């Protein structure tokens, strides 16, 4: 997963000579990001999908559970633009509502992972010694877990609600970021500006939050984005295996699962939810790649 970096494109090198004086880091990053065509495409796509999901109750032509029993597994028509599913529910409506859960679960779980990763990584890197050793062993332990198996076992114990899916995906996704943050902080804390901060009497907490974390923001943002994409796939997979969000809740994963049982009779049924899911994940990955290039101070352009 790591190390798959996209080289800066030759067309973008024209930007290298431009004067950077007087512009903030965020501004420079945004200008680089804007030149990343795929990332901008991803941003637009994700924006549209989010808009569609948020506005679902207003713009959806039907209710998410509304059944049209005279039109079961109907092909696309004027009344049902994307057809109806095996229970006569409007596919377009459910795709819209499904985005609410799928996108929210992906983002929320990614935020939990990032928060945990930052806290554990910063504490381990800053305090070092036995704290570091203990936390690193714990990370080794977490990484040795066959996560998918363990998630499945967990969901036979706790009820599989949206909140639980978010929580457990978050709890199993923070280890890599923690390692990265720890490594960076380990190196950063030896620099002079940290000595200076300490000399003027800043507390450890203040040094971590005010002086160290701003220097690792790039890693945090990129990791959050990529883990959002990963979590959306994981959520759909859990749905498919029957251990995710309850099957009556419209999510893209649940729609695919329902469609999977009828796809021989109705081959078009898995296409729409699958396509939006893949599009959303593609969009998030594009944004992640663009952010990685834009935030990396060592990229030339």
Partner 1 sequence: MLRYTAQRLLGAIPLILGISVISFVFMQLAPGGPDAMFARNGRMSDEQLAAIRRNMGLDKPVPVQYLHWLKNLLRGDLGTSYVQNRPVTRIILERLPNTLILVGAGLGLALVLALAFGVLAAVRQYSLFDHAVNAVAFFGLAMPVFWFGLMLQLFFGVRLGVLPTAGMHATGETGALDLLKHLVLPAFTLGIGSIAGWSRYVRSSLLEVIHKDYIRTARAKGVRERVVLLRHALRNALIPFVTVVGIDIPLYAVGAVVTETVFAWPGMGRLFYDSLAARDYPVQMGILVLSAFAIILGNLVADLLYAILDPRIKYG
Q: Which residues bind partner 1 (CB under 8 A)?
A: 1, 3-5, 7, 10, 137, 140-141, 143-150, 152-154, 156-157, 229, 233, 236-237, 240-241, 243, 253, 256, 260, 263-264, 267, 270, 274, 277-278, 281-282, 285-286
3-state SS, residue 72:
coil
Q: Which residues pair with 89 in a beta bridge?
A: 67
CB of 135 vs partner 1, minimal distance in Å:
14
Alpha carbon distance 116, 78 (integer Å) = 48
Question: How far apart are CB 155 and partner 1 at their closest, in Å?
Answer: 9
**Residue 9: CB minimum distance to partner 1, A:** 8
Looking at beta carbons only, is 184 or 239 nearer to partner 1?
239
Q: Residue 76 or 270: which CB sits closer to partner 1?
A: 270
Query: CB of residue 112 vs partner 1: minimum separation in angstroms?
Result: 20
| DSSP-based three-state secondary structure for 249 | coil
Altogether, the residues listed in the chain come to a count of 301
CB of 241 to partner 1, least distance (A): 6
Shortest reach from residue 198's CB to partner 1, in Å: 34
What is the C-alpha separation between 268 and 264, in angstroms, rounded? Answer: 9
**DSSP label at residue 89:** B
Instruction: Return d(Cα 91, Cα 125) in angstroms, integer.
Output: 49
Q: Which is nearer to partner 1, 141 or 196 (CB)?
A: 141
The smaller minimum CB distance to partner 1, of residues 1 and 21, is found at 1
The single-letter DSSP state of residue 17 is T
CB of 90 to partner 1, least distance (A): 21
- Cβ closer to partner 1: 62 or 230? 230
Residue 37, Cβ neighbours under 10 Å: how many? 13
Cα separation, 55 vs 100, in Å, equals: 9
* Choice between 248 and 265, CB closer to partner 1: 265
Structure tokens at 288: 């992640």
How many other CB atoms are there within 10 angstroms of residue 34's CB atom? Answer: 13
* C-alpha angle 293-296-298 in degrees, rounded to nearest 5: 110
Nearest CA-CA partner of 294 in 21, 87, 88, 31 = 31
Q: Closer to partner 1 at the Cβ: 153 or 163?
A: 153
């Amino acid at each position: 997963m790591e190390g798959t970096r996209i080289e800066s494109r030759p067309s973008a090198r024209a930007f290298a000579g431009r004067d950077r004086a007087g512009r903030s880091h965020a501004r420079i990053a945004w200008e680089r990001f804007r030149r990343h065509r795929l990332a901008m495409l991803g941003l637009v796509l994700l924006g549209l999908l989010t808009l569609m999901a948020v506005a679902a109750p207003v713009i959806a032509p039907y209710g998410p559970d509304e059944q049209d029993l005279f039109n079961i597994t109907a092909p696309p028509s004027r009344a049902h633009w994307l057809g109806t599913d095996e229970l006569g529910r409007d596919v377009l409506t459910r795709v819209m509502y499904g985005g609410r859960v799928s996108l929210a679960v992906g983002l929320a779980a990614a935020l939990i992972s990032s928060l945990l990763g930052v806290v554990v990584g910063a504490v381990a890197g800053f305090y070092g010694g036995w704290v570091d050793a203990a936390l690193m062993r714990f990370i080794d332990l977490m990484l040795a877990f066959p996560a998918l198996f363990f998630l499945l076992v967990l969901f036979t114990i706790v009820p599989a609600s949206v909140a639980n899916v978010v929580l457990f995906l978050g709890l199993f996704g923070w280890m890599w970021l923690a390692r990265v943050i720890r490594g960076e902080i380990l190196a950063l804390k030896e620099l002079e500006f940290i000595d200076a901060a300490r000399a003027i009497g800043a507390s450890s907490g203040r040094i971590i939050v005010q002086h160290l974390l701003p220097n690792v923001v790039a890693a945090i943002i990129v990791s959050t984005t990529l883990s959002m994409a990963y979590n959306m796939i994981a959520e759909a997979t859990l749905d498919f295996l029957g251990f995710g969000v309850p099957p009556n809740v419209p999510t893209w994963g649940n729609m695919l699962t329902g469609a999977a049982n009828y796809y021989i009779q109705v081959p078009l049924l898995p296409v729409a939810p699958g396509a939006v899911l893949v599009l959303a994940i593609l969009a998030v990955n594009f944004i992640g790649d663009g952010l990685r290039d834009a935030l990396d101070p060592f990229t030339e352009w």
